[in-house]
C-alpha cells in the first residue's frame, strides 16, 4: 500500500528540495499530493470551510517560504505538513476565541463512539484508491482504540489541549490522562507501522 | 528526570499536549538525547498519519490557484536562482514582500544593455556580437548571483552547524564534569565497596561509600524502571535503630541499570541500607516493602 499515488514519480523529499530551490511547479505537486489532507485536517479543527481555506493557504505559503528549513531528522514530510496546518488552524481558533466551542464539539462523540473529526465521509469523494485505502486503515486503527484513549489523543491533536486541560475537561486525574495518551499512541504506532515504513 | 521519564513524555510532546514549561524542558533535552529524538520522530509520524485519517473534505478548486498565485509573489528562503525545473533560470520571478520575507534576498542581476550598433566592427554585418556579449554578461551576472546566494547559504549553514556544535559541547562538558565527579568519588582512598544482592536473583547493585565526604555512588543492575509517576529511594538505617533516613531518589534506565551519586547525611552512624519504590519526588518515610536490604559491611 502506498500513501502517495505519485510515489513512483518523486518522493516527498525531492519535492521539498525543489520547493526550497524556488520551483513553483513542485509546490503544485505537493498540493496535489497533500492539499486534500491539509484541507480535511483544517476543516476538522476549524469547522468552517472558508476558515479552512485560509489556514491551508497560509500553511502552503509557510511551506513555500521555509522548505529549506525542513529537517527530515524530525519527521516525515506529511508529519511536517500536518504540524504546520494544525498549528495554523489552532492559532486561528485562538485568535477568533472559538476554541471552547470546538473543544466542546470534539468532546462529543457520535452514537457509535466515533468523534466528528474522524468519522468517515457519508459518501466517499476520494480520488485515489490507494490514498483512500490508507486513510481507511488509519481511521480503522483509530476506531480500534479504546474510546477513552482515542478521546484524549483527539482532544490533544484536534482540540489543541494540553494534558492538564484534558484532565480538567474530562474531570479525570492527570495521571490517567497521561497513561491513556501514552498507551493510545503506542497502539497506534504499532498498527500504523507498515504505513510509516512506506512513508519514511 | 531519568531517561525513562523523558521517554514517557514523548507521546504528549509529539501531540503538542505538553504545557509550556514542560515543552521547553523537553526541547532542551532533545538537543542531547538521540533516543528521545528518534522516539519523537516516530510519534510525530503517527500524528501526521492521523491527519491523513480525518474525514475527507474536498478543497475548492480555486485554492490551488490561490496558493500558486501567492507563491509567485514571494520567494522561498534560501532559494537558489533558477530552481531545478522551476519557472526558469533566466529570471527571478518572485518580487520580495518585506512583510513576509525578513531575510534580505538579492535582486535579479540587472541585465546589461546590448552594445550599441556603432561599436560593431565597420562593414561587418554579423549580428551575433552584441547578442553574444549581452548573453555573456547575463550569464556572468547570473553566475555572480548564484555565487552570492551559495555563499550566503553556506554562511547560514555554518552558523547553524556552529550553534549545534556549541550545544553539543555544553552537553558533553556537563557529562564529563559529572563523570569526573563520579570517578573522584570512586577513587577516594576512603571508599568502601558494598555489594547489594537479593538471594540468588536480580536485581543487584554495588555501592561505593565514602563516609568521610558523605556520598555514596550507587550502581544498579537488572532493576526495571519504576512505573510512571514512581521512583526508587535509597534509605540509610541507623546503627541504633530509629526511622530510616532518606539518601535520595533514583531511577533505572530501560536496560535496568542506573548510576547515581547520592548524599549520605553526615554525623549519623548507618549500619545498613534499603531501597523502596515511592511516588515521584520520594517520601518522608518508606511506604512500600524495602528490598536489597544490606548491612553496611565492606567487601
Cα A195 → chain centroid:
15
Grid coordinates standing for B182? 563520579
Write the residue in B37, B60, B72 that is nearest to A24 by C-beta.
Answer: B72
pLDDT for the residue B228: 86
Q: If we measure between CA atoms, which residue out of B271, B119, B116 comes closest to residue B194?
A: B271
Whole-angstrom distance, CA of residue A164 vs CA of residue B21: 13
Q: Would you call A160 and B76 a contact, using CB atoms and an 8 Å cutoff?
A: no
Query: Do residues A39 and A56 make contact, with C-beta atoms less than 8 angstroms apart?
Result: yes
Helix (H) or strand (E) holding B91: none
Chain A closest-CA separation from residue B213 CA (Å): 39
Q: Choose between A65 and B110: higher pLDDT.
A: A65
* Residues of chain B found within 8 Å of residue A76, distances taken between Cβ atoms: 44-45, 48
Q: Would you call B45 and A44 a contact, using CB atoms and an 8 Å cutoff?
A: no
For B262-272, how does the pLDDT look when each residue is reduced to its tens digit (9 = 90+)? 888 888 888 89
Angle subtended by helix axes A24-46 and B62-73, to nearest 10: 120
For B154-181, how does the pLDDT look when each residue is reduced to its tens digit (9 = 90+)? 666 677 777 777 777 777 777 777 777 6
Give B 30-69 residues with CB within 8 A of chain A.
Answer: 37, 40-60, 63-64, 66-68
Whole-angstrom distance, CA of residue B277 vs CA of residue B274: 10
- CA distances for A11 relative to A2, A4, A67, A168, angstroms: 11, 9, 15, 42
* Average pLDDT of the residues of chain A: 80
Query: Do residues B238 and B269 make contact, with C-beta atoms less than 8 angstroms apart?
Result: yes
Helix (H) or strand (E) holding B173: helix B128-187
Q: Would you call B57 and A199 a contact, using CB atoms and an 8 Å cutoff?
A: no
Angle at A167 between CA A166 and CA A170, to 5 degrees: 80
Grid coordinates standing for B199? 538471594
Q: Choose between B204 and B184: higher pLDDT.
A: B204
Q: What are residue B261's DSSP bridge partners?
A: B217
* Residues of chain B found within 8 Å of residue A118, distances taken between Cβ atoms: 53-55
Q: If we measure between CA atoms, which residue out of B278, B263, B286, B295 comes closest to residue B196?
A: B295
Greatest CA separation for chain B: 119
Left, alpha or beta for B76 (phi > 0: left; psi -120 to 50: alpha)?
A: beta
For A133-180, how does the pLDDT look when each residue is reduced to its tens digit (9 = 90+)? 777 788 888 888 999 999 999 899 988 899 999 999 899 999 999 999
Q: If we measure between CA atoms, which residue out of B253, B175, B290 comes closest to residue B2?
A: B253
pTM of the model: 0.51
Strand extents, DSSP E, chain B: 192-198, 201-210, 215-221, 230-238, 245-250, 258-263, 270-279, 291-295
Q: If we measure between CA atoms, which residue out of B81, B82, B72 comes closest to residue B149?
A: B81
Query: Do residues B32 and B64 make contact, with C-beta atoms less than 8 angstroms apart?
Result: no
pLDDT for the residue A101: 59
Amino acid at each position: 500500500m502506498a500513501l502517495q499515488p505519485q510515489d513512483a514519480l518523486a518522493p516527498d523529499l525531492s519535492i521539498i528540495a525543489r520547493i526550497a530551490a524556488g520551483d513553483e511547479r513542485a509546490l503544485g505537486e505537493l498540493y496535489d499530493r497533500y492539499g486534500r489532507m491539509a484541507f480535511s485536517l483544517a476543516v476538522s479543527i476549524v469547522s468552517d470551510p472558508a476558515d479552512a481555506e485560509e489556514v491551508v493557504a497560509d500553511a502552503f505559503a509557510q511551506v513555500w517560504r521555509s522548505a529549506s528549513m525542513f529537517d527530515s531528522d524530525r519527521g516525515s514530510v506529511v508529519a511536517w505538513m500536518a504540524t504546520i496546518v494544525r498549528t495554523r488552524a489552532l492559532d486561528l481558533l485562538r485568535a477568533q476565541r472559538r476554541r471552547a466551542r470546538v473543544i466542546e464539539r470534539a468532546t462529543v462523540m457520535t452514537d457509535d463512539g466515533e468523534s466528528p473529526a474522524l468519522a468517515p465521509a457519508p459518501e466517499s469523494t476520494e480520488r485515489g484508491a490507494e490514498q483512500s485505502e490508507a486513510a481507511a486503515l488509519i481511521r480503522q486503527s483509530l476506531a480500534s482504540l479504546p474510546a477513552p484513549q482515542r478521546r484524549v489523543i483527539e482532544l490533544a491533536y484536534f482540540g489543541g489541549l494540553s494534558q492538564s486541560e484534558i484532565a480538567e475537561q474530562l474531570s479525570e486525574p492527570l495521571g490517567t490522562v497521561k497513561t491513556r495518551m501514552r498507551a493510545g499512541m503506542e497502539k497506534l504506532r504499532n498498527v500504523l507501522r507498515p504505513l510509516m515504513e512506506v512513508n519514511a | 528526570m531519568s531517561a525513562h521519564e523523558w521517554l514517557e513524555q514523548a507521546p504528549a510532546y509529539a501531540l503538542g499536549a505538553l504545557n509550556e514549561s514542560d515543552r521547553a524542558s523537553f526541547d532542551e533535552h532533545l538537543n542531547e538525547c538521540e533516543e528521545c529524538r528518534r522516539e519523537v520522530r516516530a510519534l510525530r509520524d503517527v500524528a501526521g498519519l492521523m491527519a491523513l485519517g480525518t474525514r475527507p473534505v474536498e478543497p475548492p478548486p480555486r485554492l490551488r490557484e490561490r496558493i500558486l498565485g501567492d507563491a509567485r509573489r514571494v520567494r522561498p528562503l534560501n532559494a537558489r536562482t533558477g530552481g531545478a525545473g522551476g519557472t526558469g533560470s533566466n529570471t527571478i520571478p518572485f518580487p520580495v514582500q518585506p512583510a513576509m520575507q525578513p531575510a534580505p534576498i538579492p535582486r535579479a542581476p540587472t541585465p546589461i544593455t546590448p552594445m550599441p550598433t556603432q561599436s560593431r566592427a565597420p562593414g561587418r554585418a554579423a549580428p551575433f556580437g552584441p547578442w553574444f556579449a549581452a548573453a555573456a554578461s547575463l550569464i556572468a551576472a547570473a553566475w555572480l548571483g548564484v555565487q552570492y546566494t551559495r555563499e550566503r547559504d553556506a554562511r547560514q549553514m555554518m552558523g547553524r552547524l556552529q550553534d549545534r556544535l556549541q550545544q553539543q559541547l555544553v552537553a558533553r562538558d556537563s557529562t564529563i564534569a559529572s563523570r569526573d565527579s563520579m570517578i573522584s568519588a570512586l577513587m577516594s582512598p576512603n571508599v568502601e565497596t558494598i555489594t547489594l544482592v537479593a538471594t540468588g536473583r536480580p536485581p543487584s547493585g554495588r555501592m561505593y561509600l565514602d563516609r568521610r565526604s558523605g556520598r555514596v555512588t550507587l550502581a544498579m543492575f537488572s532493576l526495571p524502571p519504576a512505573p510512571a509517576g514512581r521512583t526508587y529511594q535509597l534509605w540509610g538505617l541507623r546503627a541504633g535503630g530509629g526511622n530510616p533516613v532518606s539518601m535520595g531518589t533514583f531511577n533505572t534506565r530501560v536496560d535496568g541499570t542506573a548510576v547515581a551519586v547520592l548524599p549520605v547525611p553526615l554525623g549519623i552512624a548507618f549500619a545498613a541500607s534499603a531501597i523502596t519504590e515511592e511516588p515521584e519526588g520520594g517520601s518522608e518515610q518508606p511506604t512500600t516493602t524495602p528490598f536489597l536490604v544490606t548491612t553496611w559491611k565492606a567487601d
